[in-house]
Structure 1
Amino acid sequence: MTTPTYGLVCLTLGPEVRFRTITLTRFRALPPEQRAATLLDLYAANISRLRGAATYCAARGIRLYRLSSSLFPMLDLDGDDTGASVLAHLAPQLLEAGQAFQNAGIRLLMHPEQFIVLNSDRPEVRASSLRAITTHAHVMDTMGLERSHWNLLLLHGGKGGRAAELQALIPDLPDPVRLRLGLENDERAYSPRDLLPVCEATGTPLILDAHHHVVHDRLPDQEHPSVREWVLAARRTWHPPEWQVVHLSNGLDGPQDRRHSHLISHLPSAYHDVPWIEVEAKGKEEALADLHARLHYRA
């Protein structure tokens, strides 16, 4: 058995790792001459808090951290480069934040918003999705994160029934996106079975979420034999396999509940040799501490 690394997702339950934001409505209500100053203050504060997240994780031995995809609101607005100009001004500080994680030996991933649908049947959605995912990749570049699946940029399969379209577009994605891209199964549109051929054909790693798999296939629980089969099938898409990441969550009111529980009560035996596990639990850092205290196993 391996000793897994459990990952913290974006925020803490407590106040230690929190980020500021602004809505599009509020941003557009600002006088044009105030918009850059507002974003400068917000972006600088979030970069400082990101540095704090590196310190927080390092102090607790957390070696896997999911970056929030909302660190820099308004960065991908169509026809408005205010956010991009502000971030360019703060690039040295953002690079220092990235180096703080790397110096602490913390692996960084990002899982952008659900509205990114690269294989939509609507051209305007495809265009906005590509703009958004390219912006996220630019943030990772600015942080000094290597363009590889070590620093994963994770998406779901997108529009249901359009796996062929997804497979066709991946090779043409910009390198900062394509070289980091990973695909995760979901509860409704794309099972691991649907995504595996896409991943194999495009060199894209498959991130297995056992909870999503159980809900999608209406299985009794995460001890179903197919979970282990998909762990191994997904591992074959990772190069090297030691970089494999899976997602871990439990249903709030049973295996079929899509809502995540506060703590992890069940760690599937199929994950016994997975090296990197992102914990998607409402309890955030409490769930990680509880895992280490109760369910952490060693070889």
Structure 2
Amino acid sequence: MIRKVGYACINNSLKPRSFQQCRLNSVYKYGIDYLRNKIVNNLNLTRDIIKWNIHNDIFMYRIPSNILPLVEHPDILRDFKWRWQDDQALLNIINEIKNVVQDNNIRLSMHPDQFTVLNSTKRNVVENSINYLNYHYKILNLLGGSDIIIHTGGVYGDKASAISRFIEIYTYLPREIKNMLRLENDDISFNIDDVLFISEKASIPVVLDIHHHRCNNKREITDSDIQTIKNTWEDTGSIPKMHISSGKTNTYDKSHSDYILEQDIILFTSLIKDIDVDLMVEAKEKDKATLKLISFLKEKKFNLFL
């Protein structure tokens, strides 16, 4: 049964409001308040998106990684005394968001970008990746979130060694970060067998992305796979989180389409059967695609807990 449905970052229905980014040279030109005002915008928008989601039966949401731009950039830390963790006005907005999240049982996640590579062969990349994960943990923890989604990383010409490096680095991560990390199969390098192997060795929950599997498919997903994926979540207190998308131009196009194709929704529901999952919609139309998927599930009377 699909328990919650959500989408990532952008809410098209609330445009022209948008998340704002900031260039480092702009902070030096206009001052730290220039950066702070953009962060206030981003936090207020996050709160309003979550409230909009609740009104529309959407109880899962991915927060953008750059919600607090530049706050841990070494130049900012060196040249400015302001720290976001000590800014009570920002913390008040964050606490307001957390209260809304907890009162409505919202499932919040974050997905660090492609530069987060724990199995890199370069020490500085690994160190930066760990620091970036810590940044995500601090934000998500304050907002009442639960899931940080990552990929395995690069192959570097030797997949077995790349997997071993990931497992080794993961083992030594701080416990609080490991408690939030979830490993997703990708559409190029590490398929569902790879991430299930890593999960078995490192006890990390697995996020199945059904379209990534289709694009990087060595075999079909079985009932046994779904049960194994479910079992990887047993110690988290959460049900499995999965991703759905459709190819933009054809079945195997890695780019996301505007909406989820109906046949892909039907395929997904037939795959999970009676397993409880939370489903993240990855489509260009974001919130509108999510509403359309929810409407389709209700119309066809699929298992949907709403």
TM-score normalised according to structure 1 size: 0.87
Distance in 1 (CA, whole Å) between partners of 2:21 and 2:243 is 29
Partner residue in 1 for 2:286 = 284
What SS is found at the alignment partner of 2:257? coil
Alignment length, in residue pairs? Answer: 285
Distance in 2 (CA, whole Å) between partners of 1:3 and 1:202 is 27
1:236, distance to aligned residue in structure 2 (A):
1.7
Most deviating of 6-15 and 45-54: 6-15
Identity across matched positions, percent: 24
Per-residue displacement from partner, 1:199-227 (whole Å, max 9, x unpaired)? 122221000111111111267xxxxx425
What SS is found at the alignment partner of 1:282? coil
Distance in 2 (CA, whole Å) between partners of 1:19 and 1:285 is 14
Distance in 2 (CA, whole Å) between partners of 1:118 and 1:109 is 19
1:39-118 equivalences in 2 (<5 Å):
39-81=35-77, 82=80, 85-89=83-87, 90-118=90-118
Distance in 2 (CA, whole Å) between partners of 1:60 and 1:174 is 37
Per-residue displacement from partner, 1:46-85 (whole Å, max 9, x unpaired)? 1111110121111011111111111011023135325970
Per-residue displacement from partner, 1:104-162 (whole Å, max 9, x unpaired)? 221111111111111111112111111111111111222244xxxxx111101112221
- Aligned: 1:9 with 2:8: yes
Code of the residue aligned with 1:88 in structure 2: it is: D
What SS is found at the alignment partner of 2:141? helix
What residue ranges of structure 1 are gaps of 5+ in the alignment? 146-150, 220-224
Partner residue in 1 for 2:140 = 140
Distance in 2 (CA, whole Å) between partners of 1:158 and 1:97 is 32
- Aligned: 1:258 with 2:254: yes
What SS is found at the alignment partner of 2:11? coil
1:87, distance to aligned residue in structure 2 (A):
4.1
Give the RMSD, CA atoms, in angstroms.
2.3
- Structure 1 ranges of 4+ moved more than 6 A: none
Of residues 231, 237, 245, the one that matches 1:236 is: 231
1:115-134 equivalences in 2 (<5 Å):
115-134=115-134
Partner residue in 2 for 1:21 = 20
Given that 1:264 and 1:287 are in contact with CA atoms closer than 8 Å, whether structure 2 keeps it comes out as: yes
Most deviating of 55-64 and 94-103: 94-103
1:169-184 equivalences in 2 (<5 Å):
169-184=169-184
Code of the residue aligned with 2:277 in structure 1: it is: P
Distance in 1 (CA, whole Å) between partners of 2:153 and 2:32 is 33
Given that 1:246 and 1:277 are in contact with CA atoms closer than 8 Å, whether structure 2 keeps it comes out as: yes
Distance in 2 (CA, whole Å) between partners of 1:154 and 1:13 is 23
Given that 1:68 and 1:110 are in contact with CA atoms closer than 8 Å, whether structure 2 keeps it comes out as: yes
TM-score normalised according to structure 2 size: 0.85
What residue ranges of structure 2 are gaps of 5+ in the alignment? none
1:3, distance to aligned residue in structure 2 (A):
4.0
